[in-house]
């Protein structure tokens, strides 16, 4: 085996990280406002199937991605209505959304099952730069959405830590009563950020469909990436830029089984190797649960707590 293969695996990891980054950025800003959205897997699936269906009937890539954003936002709006206005249990609502999204995407996706994707996202051609050894494939070998995602992570990071609305957002997750006392509507902030978060998850699903999945597959399209994205939020300690590094690491773990298979390396059966990303996510979660790590992480303090003005 040569080092070139691992280089390509790494480049693939950076590519696959796009969905992970988008999904975990979405989950992150949702959670920053104090709302947990466990439905990521459902949003990704719905985003993917929507993008496929729209792309299939119109042939328009950007329209397809746009509609997956709309679908993600719409699902998040339902989640926000249930959890913020109706104060339903956020965890159960998120899980209901996973089940609903899984079912609906399978239902919509039935007629297109096995069909190959209608449009693909072209990689940007950087000319000479793309041909450079090592950094060519790793840095200059991706599509526009991947680069946009990196910029987005930076923008969200600046928004969170350098702007006034970002400050209010963080305060809403940590101390909603204080925000309320300042005369800012907690509900509005939670609604807005839950919906934006859902939109990002939807886009993550749509991008995944066109860039990574070969065809819509009833049950195995996203394969638990949504759950890995949730673990990634913890791993990145609710900070957008760390999500990029984490996503590449997790993306690498997701990619390794394919590389080993492609290289005909059969040290372990492929089914066993496929367990690896999930086990590794679990190990990371455990490592982050030590008291010391917890102090450093800084999870939003009122995460998952509905805010009711009269109850203190």
Partner 1 sequence: MNLYNIGQEGQLYLGMVGGAWAGIALAPHLNQFIAVPVVLVTGALFGAVWVLVPALLRARMGTSEIVSTLLLNYVALNLINYFIYGSRGFFRDPSTPFPQGRPISESARFDSFGTTNTYPTLIISIMLAAFLFWFVRRSNYGYETSVYADSPQTARYAGMNSIWLTTSVLLVSGALAGLGGAMYVVGPAGKVDPGLLQTGLGYAGIVVAALARYNFVAVIITAVLFAGLRVGGSALQASSDPVPIAIAVVLQGAVLLFALGGEIFRRNRVVVTRVVQNVKVSV
CA distances from 101 to 53, 93, 237 (A): 15, 12, 27
Shortest approach of partner 1 to residue 155 CB, angstroms?
27
Q: Of the two residues 103 and 144, which places its CB atom closer to partner 1 in the complex?
A: 103
Q: How far is the CB of 122 from partner 1 (least distance, A)?
A: 31
Helix (H) or strand (E) holding 132: none
Handedness of CA 251, 25, 221, 210 (dihedral sign): negative
In the block, which residue shows the tokens 């042939």?
A: 59
> Shortest Cβ distance from residue 99 to partner 1 (Å)?
4
Q: From the CB of 88, what's the least distance to partner 1, in Å?
A: 4
Instruction: Closer to partner 1 by CB, 82 or 247: give it.
Output: 82
CA 204 to chain CA mean position, Å? 6
Which lies closer to partner 1 via its Cβ, residue 65 or residue 186? 186
Query: Which residue's CB is nearer to partner 1, number 137 or number 202?
Result: 202
Which is it for the CA torsion 35, 40, 43, 48, positive or negative?
Answer: positive
Q: Which residues make Cβ contacts (< 8 Å) with residue 176, sequence separation at least 6?
A: 34, 186, 302, 305, 307
Q: Whole-number minimum distance, CB 311 to partner 1, in Å?
A: 12
Kind and range of the H or E element at 184?
A: none
Q: 238, 24 in Cβ contact below 8 A? A: no
* Selection from 235, 232, 229, 230 nearest residue 296 by Cα: 235
Q: For partner 1, which is the closer residue by CB, 116 or 218? A: 218
- Please, which residue, 209 or 229, has the CB nearer to partner 1? 229
Shortest spacing between CB 160 and partner 1, in angstroms: 22
Could you list the residues that contact partner 1 (CB under 8 A)? 38, 78, 81-82, 86-89, 91-93, 95-104, 106-107, 110, 219, 223-224, 227-228, 230-231, 234, 269-272, 274-275, 278-279, 281-282, 285-286, 289-290, 294
């Amino acid at each position: 085996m040569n080092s070139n293969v691992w280089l390509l695996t790494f480049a693939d990891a950076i590519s696959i990280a796009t969905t992970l980054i988008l999904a975990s950025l979405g989950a992150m800003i949702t959670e920053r406002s104090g709302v947990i959205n466990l439905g990521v897997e459902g949003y990704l699936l719905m985003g993917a199937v929507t993008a496929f269906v729209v792309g299939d009937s119109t042939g328009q890539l950007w329209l397809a991605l746009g509609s997956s954003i709309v679908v993600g936002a719409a699902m998040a709006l339902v989640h926000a209505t249930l959890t913020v206005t109706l104060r339903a249990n956020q965890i159960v609502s998120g899980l209901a959304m996973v089940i609903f999204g899984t079912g609906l995407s399978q239902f919509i996706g039935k007629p297109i099952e096995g069909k190959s994707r209608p449009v693909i996202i072209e990689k940007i051609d950087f000319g000479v730069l793309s041909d450079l050894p090592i950094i060519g494939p790793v840095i200059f070998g991706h599509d526009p959405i991947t680069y946009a995602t990196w910029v987005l992570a930076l923008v969200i990071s600046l928004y969170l830590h350098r702007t006034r609305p970002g400050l209010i957002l963080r305060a809403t997750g940590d101390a909603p009563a204080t925000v309320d006392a300042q005369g800012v509507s907690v509900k509005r902030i939670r609604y807005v950020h839950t919906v934006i978060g859902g939109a990002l998850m939807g886009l993550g699903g749509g991008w995944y469909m066109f860039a990574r999945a070969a065809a819509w597959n009833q049950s195995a399209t996203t394969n638990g990436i949504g759950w890995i994205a949730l673990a990634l939020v913890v791993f990145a300690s609710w900070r957008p830029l760390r999500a990029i590094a984490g996503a590449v690491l997790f993306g690498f773990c997701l990619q390794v089984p394919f590389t080993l298979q492609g290289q005909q390396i059969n040290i372990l059966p492929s089914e066993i190797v496929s367990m690896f990303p999930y086990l590794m996510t679990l190990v990371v979660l455990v490592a982050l649960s030590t008291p010391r790590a917890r102090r450093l992480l800084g999870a939003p303090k009122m995460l998952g707590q509905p805010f009711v003005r009269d109850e203190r």
